[in-house]
Structure 1
Amino acid sequence: MAKTDDAEVLEVADHQVRITSPDRVVFPERGETKLDLARYYLAVERPLMAAMGGRPVLLQRFPGGAGGPSFFQKRVAPTKADPWLTTTRVSTPNGTTADALVAVDLAHVLWAVNMGCLGFHVWPHTAADPEHADELRMDLDPSPGVTFPMIQEAAAETRALFEELGIVSRPKTTGNRGIHVYARLQPRWDSYQVRAAGVAMARELERRRPDLITAAWWKEERGSRVFVDYNQNAPHKTVFGAWSVRANAHAQVSTPFAWDELASIEPRELTIATVPARVAATGDPWADAGADPQSIEPLLAMHERDMADGLMDAPWPPVYPKMPNEPPRVAPSRAKKVP
């Protein structure tokens, strides 16, 4: 690491990455700086790259640091200063395309950190194989009134259903109040099929624990239950990445953990300051994910069963075109009453 005028130059992955204004405080309530954030990612390089290496990433940039205004940046272009930047073509639900940054190595991550990125939102496919989504991502989202112990209980139910179907799953904190449960997949299915698997999973969880879990898209129907957000698997959707640092007051990290830690995990304790030591002591709980890709055939069969029983597709987010077999895209309380 070399220092120039108001910049630190890091030698990373055979590239020189400038961290300008390294002493700028990024987390004002804690005091960590831009360079501290870069050092965090250096400390978790191996598990970070195992989780998102080779994938397109959407950058959430906070020019003034955590707590300030932010914007999402999808389009990235190499410059004369950084000609080595790698990008790939991605699409939005309406068909607009952009060249997004690919997390080829840690140099690309630190380049984004220097640009004020405080959150990496990761595509469910690699740049090398954009036609196949190789991750199923179940987002256990706390509705108003939902406590973290309820999220933990819902995660245990999610794991149990995955195990019953013969699918290996792995959990992580979201960096806020929820839990994400991932299954790394064989590269055989597109995002429409993976979303169908997510819909089937969410509906079956709701059937088994309607007191705790809901698959209801409309907030007015959820009550104080854990919402399983199946639409996080919709085509072109990104999810906050494993090992990424949230722009909240606690500088929480979206941290993978082992299932036997579920009852004791405390998201607010998993921060930019504590996670490196945790990784050094216990390693990467997702280390074998890539060597053990899973099949979603049992969930697709469950989805086909639901359709045969007369269920329609679950609602899609409003930015997507109207989909076949989708119910009316309007909240039940606003739907016209049929005489």
Structure 2
Amino acid sequence: MTDAIALDIDGREVKISHPEKVFFAKRGETKLDLVRYYQAVAEPLLRTLRGRPLLMERYPEGASGKSWFQKRVPKTTPSWVTTTVVATPNGTTSDALVAADLAHIIWAVNLGCLGFHVWPVRAENQEITDELRIDLDPSPGVVFSQVQEAATLTRELLGELGIESKLKTTGSRGLHIYAGLEPEWDGYQVRAAAVALARELERRHPTLITAQWWKEERGARVFVDFNQNAPHKTVFGAWCVRPRVGAQVSTPIHWDDLATVEPDELTIATVPAHLAERGDPWAGARPQSIEPLLEWSRRDLANGLMDAPWPPVYPKQPNEPPRVAPSRAKKA
């Protein structure tokens, strides 16, 4: 096995150790194959990631090996690597990698990073959240055709409010719907907009879609995970490769491809050609306003609805209901 090679990544020398190491067992793709994939999709990748902090999911021995999440860059990080201080929900800070350019992505790949989880903020202005991220999460018993239907209904509802949305696969069983935002709102406001959207979708389509945070209340429905918009929350990045043996990619797709998409077939072996043929579905998107969703949020609160539950790692929030599953609350 070759010890290391040096690559010129946009004028920056980045060393790749053990480039022939197999990262994805299904077809035998290597660390160098992963590097070549990111080079092939560099333009749309950086259009979505550039300037954002990244949480790294590291698999030094490949997708079949041990892993861990890494918020802080290693102490041996080269001086040219851009970082920024980010905070966790409890206030702990860390120096996170910033997607400054492709060299930063390739440097992380060399560390065995098989997953980039992306903040919805720019490193230079972390008070502003500039993406609404709707995570359509299939509960047990839900098939992908139901997720596809939920995505279509979500797009239609956002369209009623004049909000244009973008679509991507998650690289697994769900779908993500994004809207780039005008630089007007913080993470608390964006989460409130997501809660309002989830609740309205459940009202209109109660047998298919749920906004219920507690799993015991979801049934076999598609869950709209509003808490993916909680401040400091990261979501798996567009064009990024999942740590699965098949090297599946979280792939932006055109809305008219939704009915026929097969997420497991979107891999590092197929996505570059798909991009070359279909282009970047997210190119040219304009910033949106979430004021219509915030108006729904204010309406719900005025009608007596409390805030939706927050994840357990967050401090208790104003107007939040008891943070306990309904079945446990009844027993108590």
- Per-residue deviation at 1:13? 2.4
What is the one-letter code of the residue matched to 1:125? V
Confirm or deny that 1:114 pairs with 2:110. Answer: yes
- Per-residue deviation at 1:5? 5.9
CA distance in 1: counterparts of 2:213 and 2:230, whole angstroms: 13
CA distance in 2: counterparts of 1:245 and 1:108, whole angstroms: 15
**Alpha carbons 1:140, 1:229 under 8 Å: kept:** yes
Confirm or deny that 1:132 pairs with 2:125. Answer: no
Question: Secondary structure of 2:91's partner?
Answer: coil
- Per-residue deviation at 1:281? 1.6
**Match in the other structure for 1:16:** 13
CA distance in 1: counterparts of 2:58 and 2:27, whole angstroms: 19
**Match in the other structure for 1:52:** 49
**Alpha carbons 1:77, 1:99 under 8 Å: kept:** no
- Per-residue deviation at 1:282? 1.7
Q: Which TM-score applies when normalising by structure 2?
A: 0.98
Q: Which TM-score applies when normalising by structure 1?
A: 0.96
Q: 1:324 aligns with which of 315, 318, 322?
A: 318
- Per-residue deviation at 1:78? 6.7
Question: Secondary structure of 1:26's partner?
Answer: strand
CA distance in 1: counterparts of 2:180 and 2:315, whole angstroms: 28
- Per-residue deviation at 1:7? 1.2
- Per-residue deviation at 1:337? 5.8
Question: Secondary structure of 1:307's partner?
Answer: helix
What is the one-letter code of the residue matched to 2:322? P
Confirm or deny that 1:297 pairs with 2:297. Answer: no
**Match in the other structure for 1:71:** 68
**Match in the other structure for 1:198:** 194
**Alpha carbons 2:241, 2:249 under 8 Å: kept:** yes
CA RMSD, Structure 1 to Structure 2 (Å): 1.3
**Alpha carbons 1:77, 1:85 under 8 Å: kept:** no
- Per-residue deviation at 1:67? 2.1
**Match in the other structure for 1:311:** 305
What is the one-letter code of the residue matched to 1:86? T
- Per-residue deviation at 1:55? 0.3
* Alignment of structure 1 residues 1-339 onto 2, 5 Å: 6-76=3-73, 79=76, 82-289=78-285, 292-336=286-330
Identity rate of aligned residues, in percent?
68
Moved over 6 A (4+): none
CA distance in 2: counterparts of 1:240 and 1:128, whole angstroms: 21
What is the one-letter code of the residue matched to 1:30? R
- Per-residue deviation at 1:128? 1.5
CA distance in 2: counterparts of 1:174 and 1:199, whole angstroms: 20
Question: Secondary structure of 2:153's partner?
Answer: helix
Q: 1:116 to 1:77 in 2, by over 3 A?
A: closer
Unaligned runs of 5+ in 2: none
| 1:139-162 deviation digits (Å, cap 9, x = unpaired) | 000100000000000000100001
Question: Secondary structure of 1:205's partner?
Answer: helix
CA distance in 1: counterparts of 2:279 and 2:12, whole angstroms: 26
**Alpha carbons 2:25, 2:246 under 8 Å: kept:** no
